[in-house]
Amino acid sequence: MHKWYEAPGIDRDVVFASRIRMVRNLSDLPFPVRMSASDRERVCLRVEKALSAVPDLAWTAAFLDEQEPEQAVSLVERQLCSAEFIAEPQGRAVFYTHDESLCVLVNGIDHVSMQGIASGSALPDVLNRVNTLDTVLDRTLRFAFHTQLGYLTQRLDALGTGLQPSVLLFLPALQQGGAVEQLSSDVAQLGFSLRGLFDSAIDPAGACYELTNRISFGISEADAVKNLLSISGQLCTRERQARTAFLQTEEAQDAVGRALAVLASARALEFSEFLRLYASVRMGVCAGQIGGVRVEQLDSLLFAVEPATLLQRAGKPLSAAQQQERRAQFCGAVLSAASFLPGV
Amino acid sequence: MLCQCCGERPVTTRIKTIVNGRLTERALCAVCAQRLGYTSLLTHLDRGFGSVFSDCLEETPAGVEHCPQCGATFDDIIRTGLVGCARCYETFREQLQPVLQHIYGADVHCGKMPGENLPQPQQNMELTVLQDALRDAVEQSDRVRRQALLNESLRRLEGGEDPDA
Ligand SMILES: [Zn+2]
Ligand SMILES: [Zn+2]
């Protein structure tokens, strides 16, 4: 299959992935707020045609009008689009490459939103890939642009480069110490957002967060990425320090060992429980306290056992109990050779 | 309705999220929204939309000019907070100008131009651009308090102090 998250990456102990979003709009059609159904169809057709002419890339299309709810949710689980995007499916589409590292969303808040993602710390590379796609698509789609205002969009507060770079961070030790919420308001004052990735509203589970630079005006793409790297570098240092201190305690080591035992041998697992155990085991793997499994295998497991994706890949209806059993089987298979090496 | 997170304060923000494989809406109060990272960029830069538009509305004679491409009026833009199409930026250039100035100050776009390569990063810039934006914001209200807050958060982020300590 070979998806982007199966590949190893730099700094993957803290940086799960690097993502670039770049939004664009067509100049001769109304923006999404004023689009009719036929306008939406027109945008979709044009983008589809432009994408088919991009050399060396093949695209899978998901038209949201035609998707079953769990298929649409699976797109969100696989990090191809947001929950907001599937909430209003009319005329919307997602085009993605086989490895799911590049995707193009059509008729969201903007006509076109290009997204690139890669394992670990790799923002400059991802920016290059998305930038190249933008240059190629612009030749046929002619994105709306104004010399002083930059790339035009319906949102007056989102002019400029149309760029939103982000990093997906794994911050179990900072979360444990209760530091994340303070960090979230601190970085907000600098124009960043720090949000939980899973059930982000109430209880950021799995200790996975997304740090995004939201300033797109008056700053070049490369500088926006540089600012993000500077903040995320500081968060990484803090997380690593906190993790080292945390994992030295016997209770923490015991918790890691127990989490591995449960994840490897459970007969049924709810997703929320999986996320809790995953965070402990991932921390243990990154610290060398758990051997026999690589961090990218563990992350691929996460993608495989997300509820809607699990159902979709099963290819048949499963009862709640069957889903939990299947999730537990996947975990057992990936962790069959894993072992706990306490005191390392 | 009360916040689904703390159960204490009234709801100000609704966000979509996926909970156990299902699309769900969460209703949050302003405090929880901020804590969880869901705030408007403009709130933080002290450049809220509401006041910008109401200021501009007073200055704008009630016109009925329509954008020739999408049919939007300037009232439509104010009502929705959203621009109708690329052509609107030309049609309503004069009315939009104070709004844009309020949001962005004197800045101009300095990134990619269509058909060109990405501009190179500037040397030694680090956080200066953000800090400039914040300094502008600080000019606007409660200068001393905000400046102290900003200095503190920068110091923390630069590793000078542990907020847990
Ligand atoms: Zn609340
Ligand atoms: Zn218009």
Quote the Cα angle for A178-A182-A188, to 5°: 145
Residues A19, A166: one domain? yes
Q: Return d(Cα B150, Cα B148) in angstroms, integer.
A: 5
Who contacts B37 (Cβ-Cβ below 8 Å, separation ≥6)?
A184, A188, A193, A194, A195, A196, A200
Residues A22, A81: one domain? yes
User: Pairing relation of β-strands A93-96 and A102-106?
Assistant: antiparallel
Phi/psi of residue A281, nearest 5 degrees: -65, -40
Residues A19, A123: one domain? yes
Spell out a b/e string for A275-290, using b for 16 or more CB atoms within 10 Å of the CB, else e. bbbbbbbbbbbbbebb
Residues A118, A201: one domain? yes
Q: Return d(Cα A143, Cα A162) in angstroms, integer.
A: 11
Q: The pTM is what?
A: 0.90
To test the contact with chain A by mutation, choose from B85, B103, B135 the residue with the greatest count of A C-beta atoms within 10 A, namely: B85
DSSP alpha helix (H) spans, B9-161: 30-35, 41-44, 49-59, 74-80, 88-91, 93-104, 128-140, 143-157
Residues A232, A309: one domain? no
Domain boundary among A243, A259, A288: A243
Quick check: A326 pLDDT over 60?
yes
Q: Which domain holds residue A132?
A: 4-243
For chain B, give every domain's residue range.
1-39, 48-108, 127-155
**pLDDT confidence of B64, banded at 50, 70, 90?**
confident
Quick check: B46 pLDDT over 50?
no
Q: Return d(Cα A215, Cα B104) in angstroms, integer.
A: 10
Predicted confidence (pLDDT) per residue in B88-135, tens digit:
999 999 999 988 888 888 888 989 999 888 887 765 554 545 545 544
Quote the Cα angle for A209-A212-A216, to 5°: 170
Residues A232, A258: one domain? no
CATH of the domain at A185: 3.30.590.10
Cβ pair A135:B69 closer than 8 A: no
Angstrom CA distances, B159 to A193, A244, B156, stand at 19, 17, 5
Q: Provide the residue type at A17 as one letter.
A: A
Query: From ligand 2's centre to the CA of B62, what distance in Å?
Result: 18
Domain boundary among A195, A220, A243: A243
Residues A67, A50: one domain? yes
Residues A169, A314: one domain? no
ipTM of the complex: 0.89
Give the rounded percent of residues in chain B with a pLDDT score beyond 70: 59
What pLDDT is stored for residue B45 in this prediction? 47
Residues A159, A259: one domain? no
Cβ pair A31:B83 closer than 8 A: yes
Predicted confidence (pLDDT) per residue in A145-155, tens digit:
999 999 999 99
Contact, A325 vs A268, CB < 8 A? yes
| B23 → closest Cβ in A73, A153, A198 | A73
Give the rounded percent of residues in chain A with a pLDDT score beyond 70: 98
B147 or A248, higher pLDDT: A248
Quick check: B58 pLDDT over 70?
no
What pLDDT is stored for residue B48 in this prediction? 46
Burial of B120 (0-12, 13-18, 19+ CB in 10 A): exposed
Contact, A187 vs A194, CB < 8 A? yes
**pLDDT confidence of B137, banded at 50, 70, 90?**
very low
Query: From ligand 2's centre to the CA of B69, what distance in Å?
Result: 5
Nearest alpha-carbon partner for A220 in A166, A161, A165, A138: A161
Give the rounded percent of residues in chain A with a pLDDT score beyond 90: 89
Question: What tokens does B128 get?
Answer: 């200066």
What pLDDT is stored for residue B116 in this prediction? 83
Residues A150, A36: one domain? yes
Contact, A96 vs A83, CB < 8 A? no
